[in-house]
A and B are shown apart, each in its own frame.
Chain A
């Protein structure tokens, strides 16, 4: 790892002193790379993937629980399993485990591990690392620590077999492991050597101890990350020996850098308003890849306007799902027809029964005092949600309701659960999703008030009980029953199935093959150069 801070202070002084003449020189000589052949494939083995915004938390797999930093985590670490790439359904696929057996009551999971895998420090990967990884996740107590909460024991009968025993049945356990936020294997040797007083958390802010196809070579948090190809990787190796991840804090600047050819790919970062420019373009490649994410509408039952189930359902029926999704989200989305994410329940048995019928809201509006006010919220900066909230507010205004659309910072949105009366009457979520592909991971976070993304605490104890029962057995019928019962509350509308919009230069190959439904990122080892 290079230190990027050497001489910063000295350079600052030099810059200050030399500013005037060099301003002129720099402007005349041009700061751009003169040798840049715009939008041509790189000849130096460097792939540049632009990130929009700082990754936030450090890329420590037991800490990281956000978005764009997964580009680093998922390319430097690997879990036992993952979701199958290039599929639009939930399918568990091998990664560091080549196969696995699950006992009938979902309490014992036996993993047969891949041979010939080494960590980036050269330590061979064996079953002992599984227990170390699970233990560290518990110790670090990050946001996704719940995934190993139920692990009672990890037995290692031999180097290539790990037997995980849970304290209670959990059919979602494989989904926990396949989740992009799931436990990743970490070198026990490197963890011990760099443990410090915080389980190596400080070390992992700027280093990695994984087995992935790439390793962190340089980090300038807030500015850029550089990954180098790990030549001892067990899997296929891409022609990209270096991956640069510059951080842009402005979407327009990122888009311009992509147009200029300075950025090779942009994953799920640009707004829908830019779609028209790239779709069908001969100069760029634009991909719409499946995800488990949705646009959602949640209704606040603690507010006077939505006290009754009748009012809530009337409001949801007044949403013209088809036209709203088409008009605002465009080809990034399709109207959702199920209560869970697309493909979570086989055959779509979790059908969403809401139908567009504005007359129900019209009739309800007539029963309200003139000028009754209500607020539809959306997260600050989410232009899609803002547009949808404005359209819906305008519809209600036409019915004589004093409806307004209001923006709320994300930090405030997540605070409503502590006092839902502080929130708006309804909320449009432009894009949200679960940690993984089990229906439990969807139902628990969105419908159970303790789950994390149930903003207004609208819950039904019987639904929670059904979900808890279903997760033990994996009974789809029970999941469907829970979903249908929750839908009756009128608190929830699955508006659209959203896709990852990946923008790439024409020469970049393997984009679809490097993406899976659970992770909003690409596996860089599967990318290549055309021709």
Chain B
């Protein structure tokens, strides 16, 4: 296990280095002038040229890249050209908001996945209807789901707020979380649910489960001791993958719900060529993705030691 973790830590460093280089190069070849983003649209050519020099944008590319890398390893992503604040300060506000949304969506997705898988595998009444609804909803693009959610639950029913993160109180924050987290949870719920259902169905049909039942063990006991643990491995790996995708999915959902997270921050940074902000978000999300998948692998190994 220790060797496995060390290997994964090494690969994380390599992934982040490659990611840094790719992001940096993409920024260099993308059109746009960050100096103008820093000064404002109507800035004169003379002012823009002076700003480019101040930001070091006229230095050779290798110099710029090494400077960026040198700062990044110390957790300093520079100053946003757009907000004029340190990017780390911006992320300190945006990352918790995204994490809150992703964690809520992930928990909800796992719950929905469990219900979806169990209802199918155990042939609960009305399982087909629930499955059908989930399938239909999961095929809709997230932005459309989000808009429909706002129109129905905010504009018409007035049950839930339609945008923002709330006023800081727990109740307000939770009510603001319901719609975006639900929209975000639908697709991963279906993906994890399908894998879990297959695992449950295969395990339920296995000899050892039949033997356990013939010994007179109750349904709950059979499920807990013989079915779930043997079925959960592949769905854990899928859940890890989906958690990574959830972070990416926040870009659209945060935009529609005006949720002040990293997705929104990234969406505002791209049109203005705010390189430090774009690079920082990419690196943070990249790191999160690798870490989450490593954790999923560890959990999968713990659940099924044969994989170790």
Chain B, 247-299, CB within 8 A of any chain A CB: 254-258, 260, 264-265, 267-268, 270-273
- A452 interface hit (Cβ, 8 Å): yes
Compute how far the CA of A380 lies from the CA of B164 in the bound complex, rounded to whole angstroms: 25
Q: Are A417 and B45 in contact (CB under 8 A)?
A: yes
Q: Are B178 and A66 in contact (CB under 8 A)?
A: no
**In the complex, which of the residues B45, B108, B155, B256 contacts A19, with contact meaning CB atoms closer than 8 Å?**
B108
A54-B268, A222-B264, A223-B260 known; A257-B162 Cβ under 8 A: yes
Of A12, A142, A410, A412, chain B has the most CB atoms within 10 Å of the CB of A12
Compute how far the CA of A247 lies from the CA of B272 in the bound complex, rounded to whole angstroms: 18
Q: Are A31 and B160 in contact (CB under 8 A)?
A: yes
Q: Are B158 and A260 in contact (CB under 8 A)?
A: yes
Task: Report B-chain residues with C-beta under 8 Å of the C-beta of A221.
Answer: 83, 85, 90, 93
A56-B82, A143-B47 known; A410-B41 Cβ under 8 A: yes
Task: Report B-chain residues with C-beta under 8 Å of the C-beta of A142.
Answer: 39-40
- A252 interface hit (Cβ, 8 Å): yes
Q: Are A409 and B32 in contact (CB under 8 A)?
A: yes
Give the shortest distance, in Å, between A23 (CB) and chain B (any CB).
Answer: 6
**In the complex, which of the residues A30, A58, A66 contacts B41, with contact meaning CB atoms closer than 8 Å?**
A66
- B99 interface hit (Cβ, 8 Å): yes
Q: Are A409 and B84 in contact (CB under 8 A)?
A: no
Q: Are B93 and A65 in contact (CB under 8 A)?
A: no
Write the A269-297 contact mask toward B (1 if CB under 8 angstroms, else 0).
00000000000000000000000000000
Compute how far the CA of A101 lies from the CA of B164 in the bound complex, rounded to whole angstroms: 49
- A100 interface hit (Cβ, 8 Å): no
Compute how far the CA of A15 lies from the CA of B177 in the bound complex, rounded to whole angstroms: 9
Write the B123-162 contact mask toward A (1 if CB under 8 angstroms, else 0).
0000000000000000000000001001100110011111
Write the A446-478 contact mask toward B (1 if CB under 8 angstroms, else 0).
000111110000000000000000000000000
B-side interface size class = 35 or more
Q: Are B103 and A146 in contact (CB under 8 A)?
A: no
For B267, the closest partner residue in chain A by CB is A249
**In the complex, which of the residues B50, B173, B175 contacts A11, with contact meaning CB atoms closer than 8 Å?**
B173
Compute how far the CA of A417 lies from the CA of B31 in the bound complex, rounded to whole angstroms: 12
Compute how far the CA of A58 lies from the CA of B81 in the bound complex, rounded to whole angstroms: 11
For A451, the closest partner residue in chain B by CB is B44
Q: Are B178 and A23 in contact (CB under 8 A)?
A: yes
Q: Are B107 and A20 in contact (CB under 8 A)?
A: yes
**In the complex, which of the residues A30, A60, A248 contacts B163, with contact meaning CB atoms closer than 8 Å?**
A248
Write the A371-406 contact mask toward B (1 if CB under 8 angstroms, else 0).
000000000100000000000000000000000000
Task: Report A-chain residues with C-beta under 8 Å of the C-beta of B219.
Answer: none
- B37 interface hit (Cβ, 8 Å): yes
For B54, the closest partner residue in chain A by CB is A141
For B154, the closest partner residue in chain A by CB is A256
Compute how far the CA of A452 lies from the CA of B84 in the bound complex, rounded to whole angstroms: 21
Q: Are A31 and B85 in contact (CB under 8 A)?
A: no
**In the complex, which of the residues B46, B103, B151, B257 contacts A15, with contact meaning CB atoms closer than 8 Å?**
B103
A4-B168, A56-B82, A256-B154 known; A452-B44 Cβ under 8 A: yes
- A435 interface hit (Cβ, 8 Å): yes
- A363 interface hit (Cβ, 8 Å): no
Task: Report A-chain residues with C-beta under 8 Å of the C-beta of B158.
Answer: 30, 32, 36, 260
Q: Are B32 and A452 in contact (CB under 8 A)?
A: no
Q: Are B258 and A249 in contact (CB under 8 A)?
A: yes
Write the A7-40 contact mask toward B (1 if CB under 8 angstroms, else 0).
0110110111011101101110111100010000
A222-B260, A411-B271, A418-B33 known; A146-B44 Cβ under 8 A: yes
Q: Are B267 and A415 in contact (CB under 8 A)?
A: no
Give the shortest distance, in Å, between B101 (CB) and chain A (any CB).
Answer: 9
Give the shortest distance, in Å, between A15 (CB) and chain B (any CB).
Answer: 5
Q: Are A31 and B32 in contact (CB under 8 A)?
A: no
Compute how far the CA of A351 lies from the CA of B255 in the bound complex, rounded to whole angstroms: 44
A11-B170, A56-B83 known; A250-B159 Cβ under 8 A: no
A250-B255, A409-B31 known; A27-B100 Cβ under 8 A: no
- B94 interface hit (Cβ, 8 Å): yes
The 6 residue pairs across chains A and B that have the minimum distance between CB atoms: A31-B175, A65-B40, A411-B32, A412-B31, A143-B40, A143-B39
Give the interface of B toward A (CB within 8 A).
Answer: 31-34, 36-37, 39-47, 50-51, 82-85, 90, 92-94, 96, 99-100, 103-104, 107-108, 111, 147, 150-151, 154-155, 158-165, 168, 170-178, 181, 254-258, 260, 264-265, 267-268, 270-273
Known: A220-B260, A417-B45. 7 other contacts (CB 8 A): A16-B107, A20-B107, A223-B164, A409-B271, A414-B36, A415-B36, A451-B44
6 contacts between A and B (CB under 8 A): A12-B96, A29-B175, A221-B85, A248-B258, A259-B155, A415-B32
Give the interface of A toward B (CB within 8 A).
Answer: 4-5, 8-9, 11-12, 14-16, 18-20, 22-23, 25-27, 29-32, 36, 53-54, 56-58, 60, 63-66, 141-146, 181, 201, 205, 220-224, 246-250, 252-254, 256-257, 259-260, 380, 408-412, 414-415, 417-418, 422, 434-435, 445, 449-453
